[in-house]
Amino acid sequence: MSAILVYDPAMADYRFGGDHPMRPERFSLAVALMRKWGILAEPGDPPSDTRAGVVRPEPATDDDILLFHTPELLAAVKAASADPSRFDMRFGIGPGDTPAFAGMHEAAASAVGGTITAMEAVLGGDVLRAFVPAGGLHHAHRDRAAGFCVYNDCAIAIERATRERPGLQVAYVDIDAHHGDGVQEAFYDRADVLTVSMHESGRFLYPGTGMASETGVGEGRGFAVNVPMPPDAGDAEYAAAFEAAVAPAVADFGPDIVVAQLGGDGHRGDPLTHLELSVAGHRALVHRIVELADEHCDGRIVATGGGGYQPFDVVPTMWALAMAELLGVDVPTPDEPIEPISAE
């Protein structure tokens, strides 16, 4: 089996600063833990059956970003990136969830470039699976940043892939605690992209969307699947809901590739959500996503990170285990999240 980690330490420049809950340590420490466990190849070495190769992506171009986002949003992000005092709240940038910071455009373009690189590697047959822990910024909309997300890497990478490969069928499976609203928006009227989101019900949590009644429009009717979970839902409830809704939807769709968003904020200790997943429960969901890909698209997966607001122990553990699942390596699930470790 062949898999890659798409990562550059510079991706940690995606940092809102201060006491903002979205911290890049959630993925930089995950990579450090992967190295500690020996599941990453040494720099320059190719991937093997038990070690993922590490690929540094190029940032997305403006043309890539404009596949999904408006020129006005791109211009607003660039302006705020060059001078954070020039933020424009009309585009979701400013005090609150998504504050401006110096270099914001470059950092966000790096995340997009990572997911594009992963998609091209898998669809091109270079590797079977790829993981982009800095990706999964699923709340960004066509015309505005939102929910800690500047550009929507998953929507852009899927849009680019389906344009370049007419007839490609993509199943997007999102297990972040927050609804994958930006990706759903991107493909809500299309039948070639299935969007599936398991999340805490929008009755209780941002962004307030993702009701079961949201199923798509026009040609896309039936190709959006939402599984809103009640507060306090844990491992057993998630497993049951996955088998009842997610697995049949993916099987009926018959994808050519699975794009998975593996947000870690469904954990029982997450400060921003109200769910009860354990680290082992999250790993079990990733395992089932891998099985679905094996069953329906010859194992092809592009996985991304996403949310998760225990950045020093819980989320790094979850995502290091996710890399092990993508590789098919038997790494024991820790009884507790790891102790904090140093990033690269």
pLDDT of residue 333: 83
- Dig out the tokens for 218 from the structure: 């026009």
- CA-to-CA distance for 304 and 178, rounded, in angstroms? 15
* DSSP secondary structure, 212-224, as one string: TT----GGGTT-E
CB 110 within 8 Å of CB 180: no
- Residue 341 scores a pLDDT above 60: no
Does residue 121 belong to any structural domain of this protein?
A: yes
Residue whose tokens read 């998609």 = 119
CB 249 within 8 Å of CB 206: no
- CA-to-CA distance for 215 and 190, rounded, in angstroms? 11
β-pair type (53-55, 3-6): parallel
pLDDT of residue 202: 98
- Say which CATH number the domain at 276 has: 3.40.800.20
Question: Which residues are CB-contacts of 254 (< 8 A; sequence separation ≥ 6)?
Answer: 169, 296
- Residue 173 scores a pLDDT above 60: yes
* DSSP secondary structure, 35-66, as one string: HHHT-BPPTTPPP-SSSBEEEPPPPPPHHHHT
Strand, coil or helix: what is 260? strand
Beta bridge partners of residue 258, listed in sequence order: 171, 301
- Residue 122 scores a pLDDT above 80: yes
- CA-to-CA distance for 251 and 239, rounded, in angstroms? 16
Does residue 335 belong to any structural domain of this protein?
A: no
pLDDT of residue 343: 53
Does residue 106 belong to any structural domain of this protein?
A: no
Band (101; pLDDT cuts 50, 70, 90): very high
How far, CA to CA in Å, does 37 sit from each of 51, 164, 296, 304, 314?
A: 10, 37, 30, 20, 16
- CA-to-CA distance for 216 and 187, rounded, in angstroms? 8
Does residue 227 belong to any structural domain of this protein?
A: yes
Beta bridge partners of residue 257, listed in sequence order: 170
Looking at residues 297-314, what average pLDDT do you find? 97
Radius of gyration of the chain (CA): 18
How far, CA to CA in Å, does 217 sit from each of 142, 188, 190, 298?
A: 18, 6, 8, 29
Question: How do residues 244-296 score in pLDDT, each as one tens digit?
Answer: 999 999 999 999 999 999 999 999 999 999 999 999 999 999 999 999 999 99
Does residue 86 belong to any structural domain of this protein?
A: no
User: What φ, ψ does residue 174 adopt, rounded to 5°?
Assistant: -120, 120
Does residue 99 belong to any structural domain of this protein?
A: no
Band (342; pLDDT cuts 50, 70, 90): low
Instruction: Report the candidate in 191, 154, 185, 189 with the shortest Cα–Cα distance to residue 169.
Output: 191
User: What φ, ψ does residue 171 adopt, rounded to 5°?
Assistant: -100, 120
Beta bridge partners of residue 260, listed in sequence order: 173, 303
Q: Which one of 138, 139, 179, 296 is the catalytic residue?
A: 139
CB 304 within 8 Å of CB 260: yes
Q: Quick one: how far is CA 262 from the chain centroid? A: 5
Looking at residues 43-65, what average pLDDT do you find? 93
Does residue 159 belong to any structural domain of this protein?
A: yes
- Residue 322 scores a pLDDT above 70: yes
Q: Is the dihedral of CA 63, 66, 71, 74 positive or negative?
A: negative
CB 190 within 8 Å of CB 213: no
Instruction: Report the candidate in 126, 120, 132, 171 with the shortest Cα–Cα distance to residue 326.
Output: 132
How far, CA to CA in Å, does 5 sit from each of 131, 242, 277, 291, 314?
A: 5, 26, 25, 19, 19
Residue whose tokens read 């070495």 = 45
Q: How many domains does the chain have?
A: 1
pLDDT of residue 257: 98
- Residue 200 scores a pLDDT above 60: yes
Q: What is the pTM of this model?
A: 0.96
Tell me which residue range forms the domain holding 19.
Answer: 3-55+111-327
Active site residue 267: no
Does residue 250 belong to any structural domain of this protein?
A: yes
- CA-to-CA distance for 41 and 54, rounded, in angstroms? 7
